[in-house]
Structure 1
Amino acid sequence: MSRRLHIEVFRYNPLDPNSEPHMQSFYVNEYDSMTLFIALNIIRDEQDPTLQFDFCCRAGICGSCGMVINGRPGLACHTQTRDLPDHIVLHPLPVFKLIGDLSVDTGTWFRDAGARIEAWVHNDHEQFDPKAEEVRMENDLANEIFELDRCIECGCCVSACGTARMREDFLGATSIARVARFYLDPRDERNEENYYQVIGNDQGVFGCMGLLGCEDVCPKHIPLQDQLGIMRRMLAIHSVKGILPKRVLEKLQHKGCCHESH
């Protein structure tokens, strides 16, 4: 027998002077293979057309439907209601600017973060030649880069980050993983000093408290903490190059994974 779901939703429209933050209850009959995305659409179609939440692809690709589901950031389209209790509480993702109800502005945050980390390939080529042959790379390296390029910018990792919740200037794990993607890319000609200037501070790799919340909620299962650790190790070694003896640095550089093939 199907359950009757009690879905409690945060409601607030910051553009309406008469609106006040509150929780509103809705009830939906559950059926097999129902996702939270479907349940919210039923609510909006049949009960309250003013309910605000974002969606686009409904396939876990666009990252639009990120929200806090029973205290845990996640994607509504990836969340089966059968995996949740019959009382579901929904809040908007913290850290990001609230648009209304469950809708937040992740685009501005990620655009600003992309500009801060200079998220593009840097080289000295004066002009792109569309007729030139593409730069070749080994399949294993291409797969490593692709692994870090799978981020859909849903904002779940940022919302689960204790540092990002306390500090607006923290770049977050997804930005650091994106820097690691360019560090791996042989077409990017930046050196360790260049990367240090971008994320070698407490807004970047040295600001992480290591709570693992980001990787724990990532819907694409990207190894965010691994990449953060790798980049932090590389930049920490770079920062003491003029202090520690060369033989000590060599031992540190060859201990553990450090993207040494780059």
Structure 2
Amino acid sequence: MSEIPTRAVRELTIRVLRCNPAEPEQTPEWQDFRLEEAEAMTLFVALSLLREEQDASLSFDFVCRAGICGSCGMLINGRPGLACRTLTRDLPDTITLAPLPGFELIADLSVNTGKWMRGMSERLETWVHDAGLADHNLAQVEAPMDPALAREIYELERCIECGCCIAACGTAQMRENFVGAVGLNQVARFRLDPRDTREDADYYELVGDEDGVFGCMTLLGCEDLCPKDLPLAAQIAFLRRKMARA
């Protein structure tokens, strides 16, 4: 019997941008860690080993480890991505990691995406506005939704608010108040939802300016780097066409 060829074990160099705003005297610097690669190792596993075995002060975020919570977003060799969904075997021997730009830095690879997302959600009122709820009739049966429409809405609801689209967006890096693809995706979703009783003019007032749909430079970084492969560019283009005709 022929032997199954084994894959050579690599030594990885993981270069992390270290910075802790809580220690203003500390200047940002790159720190190199070396680690033996394991089979099917993800960046999340690699970082966890580094924190457990080499430096307990290394900061990064995680919750689900399954590409659902979106908390482990970071720049991986200059591209936004999720550490838990990135296999080290798909990367070179030297891996450079930095925090996502556009968000408040907590420390090292940890950023406060939640603060940004909450501000965006409050600004765009990303909840169902149902005029019928004013009657407080909680026993009222919700009207059935067409399955095709429900699937279309669900497609947009798959956003995990990881922040990768913001980090990949040139406009978001230049314009602090730009709501980004994640915000415009929310508006597009509620426009489809028949339970939301707002008029088109209400949505246009929220995002019909350069901090909204007309600020997009169509660089497509948001869609190219979305971990959930959402049709972000198509939704932005649709909103722009609708608003331009209004």
TM-score by length of 2: 0.95
| C-alpha separation in 2, matches of 1:135 and 1:36 | 45
| C-alpha separation in 1, matches of 2:69 and 2:43 | 16
Question: Are 1:115 and 2:127 an aligned pair?
Answer: no
1:37 equivalent among 41, 44, 48: 44
CA deviation after TM superposition for structure 1 residue 127, in Å: 3.9
What are the ranges of 5 or more consecutive residues in structure 1 without an aligned counterpart? 239-262
SS in 1 for 2:131: coil
| C-alpha separation in 2, matches of 1:82 and 1:97 | 30
Which residue matches 2:177?
169
Which residue matches 2:105?
98
CA deviation after TM superposition for structure 1 residue 129, in Å: 3.4
1:215 equivalent among 220, 223, 229: 223
Which residue matches 2:5?
none
Which residue matches 1:80?
87
| C-alpha separation in 1, matches of 2:240 and 2:15 | 41
| C-alpha separation in 2, matches of 1:159 and 1:79 | 17
Q: Give the alignment's Cα RMSD to 1 decimal.
A: 0.9
Which residue matches 1:185?
193
Percent identity reads: 57
CA deviation after TM superposition for structure 1 residue 121, in Å: 1.2
- List structure 1 segments (4+ residues) > 3 angstroms apart after TM superposition: 127-130
CA deviation after TM superposition for structure 1 residue 20, in Å: 1.2
Which residue matches 2:60?
53
Q: 1:173 corresponds to which letter in structure 2?
A: A
What are the ranges of 5 or more consecutive residues in structure 2 without an aligned counterpart? 1-7
CA deviation after TM superposition for structure 1 residue 177, in Å: 0.7
Question: Are 1:131 and 2:139 an aligned pair?
Answer: yes
SS in 2 for 1:82: helix
Question: Are 1:199 and 2:244 an aligned pair?
Answer: no
Which residue matches 1:243?
none
CA deviation after TM superposition for structure 1 residue 124, in Å: 1.6
| C-alpha separation in 2, matches of 1:81 and 1:127 | 55
Which residue matches 1:235?
243
1:26 equivalent among 20, 30, 33: 33
| C-alpha separation in 2, matches of 1:14 and 1:135 | 50
Q: 1:120 corresponds to which letter in structure 2?
A: W
**1:144-159 to 2 correspondences below 5 Å:** 144-159=152-167
Question: Are 1:70 and 2:57 an aligned pair?
Answer: no
| C-alpha separation in 1, matches of 2:207 and 2:21 | 34
* Count of residues paired in the alignment: 238
CA deviation after TM superposition for structure 1 residue 128, in Å: 4.1
